[in-house]
Structure 1
Amino acid sequence: MSATLVSKIASVSLSNQSELLLEIRKGLPFKAFEELKMALEINRKELAELLLIKDSTLTRRKNKGFLLAHESDRVIRFAKLFDQASILLQGDKNAALIWLKSPLEVLSGESPLEHAQTELGSRDVEDLIGRIRHGVFC
């Protein structure tokens, strides 16, 4: 099995929550933003909007080389959703991308990525993935 996006971005195993938490708290390298952008196949502006980061702030983070803790947390949030969607779709990353970007009625017409901009929305998407995995109709 290939490495998860979370482990690629944070350089720690997703199963090691304490190490992941430490990485988030100290701030991920800016390359984590770039890795997520490439994985989600979206541009800088689109990802910045999903992460609720202003362009000027993003430029400062790039120059410093690190994201702040709350920004790192958001990057990991989206990486985890990508990993979960990939697992749900039997490792088909292209299918996962299509699903993550497609508006869903169950999410009030938003795509899972749009809906996951907040922690609460992200939990909705994780719950939806769990329901689909267990065959619960949405």
Structure 2
Amino acid sequence: MEIAMPARAAFRPDPVLIRRATVREGERRSRQSDLLGAPVSSDYDIVKEVAKGLDPGVITRLTDEGLTRRELEFVIPPRTLTHRIKNGERLSTDESERSVRLVNLLLQAEQLLGGKEAATAWLRQPLRRFDGRSALEVARTEQGARLVEELLIQIEEGYAA
């Protein structure tokens, strides 16, 4: 006895959606490059920049985006930042990692919420999911940043409000 197999539906990606995704990715990379102060066209480019150490100007660019110096103290303490700038030094690998983490969260929130004002407001807002802590507070650690990224994805896909 032969079992009839259902006909397979051929997957045909929507070229319009592919173009939109490509444009969004290009815009995101451009914003990443601007904020990080280094040309990046891939995640590996970011890895290389972090290994070299980012320019301390990334902190100024993040404050220009609406974050406060106090909110950025977890990235680099103010005295250390002043020292690095005065001596023409780059950020350490850890400081660069934290900067990239924050830039990525900010851009993800901007894309989802429609702009930097809405993104920074959301990042500061106490969230029930995080026991009343803001996304910025939770994102001080790598694991916390992953939780914030997951929440943003869930909001985008309609799983969380």
TM-score by length of 2: 0.74
Q: Which residue does 1:64 correspond to in 2? A: 87
* Cα distance per residue 1:16-53 (max 9 Å; x no partner): 111111011100111111111221331x23311x32x3
**2: distance between equivalents of 1:5 and 1:102?**
23
1:74 corresponds in structure 2 to 98
The code of the aligned residue for 1:75 comes to S
TM-score between the two structures when normalised by the length of structure 1: 0.86
Quick one: percent identity of the two aligned structures?
A: 36
The structure 2 residue matched to 1:37, chosen from 59, 63, 69, is: 63
Counterpart of 1:17 (choices 33, 43, 53) is: 43
RMSD: 1.9
Larger RCO, structure (CA 8 Å, separation 6 or more): 1
Q: Which runs of 5+ in 1 are unaligned?
A: none
Distance in 1 (alpha carbons) for counterparts of 2:78 and 2:116: 28
Matched, 1:128 2:151: yes
Q: Distance in 2 between matches of 1:36 and 1:18?
A: 22
Matched to 2:32, the amino acid is V
Deviation at 1:55, TM superposition (A): 2.9
Larger Rg: 2
- Distance in 2 of aligned mates of 1:80 and 1:19: 14
Q: How big is the shift at 1:110?
A: 0.9
2:56–2:81 CA contact under 8 A, matched in 1: no
The amino acid of 2:85's aligned partner reads: K
Q: Name the counterpart of 2:10.
A: none
- What is the SS of the residue equivalent to 2:65? helix
Which amino acid in 1 is paired with 2:121? I
Gaps of 5+ in 2: 1-23
Moved over 4 A (4+): 1-4
Assess if the C-alpha contact under 8 Å between 1:5 and 1:82 holds in 2.
no
Higher helix share: 1
**What is the aligned residue count?**
133
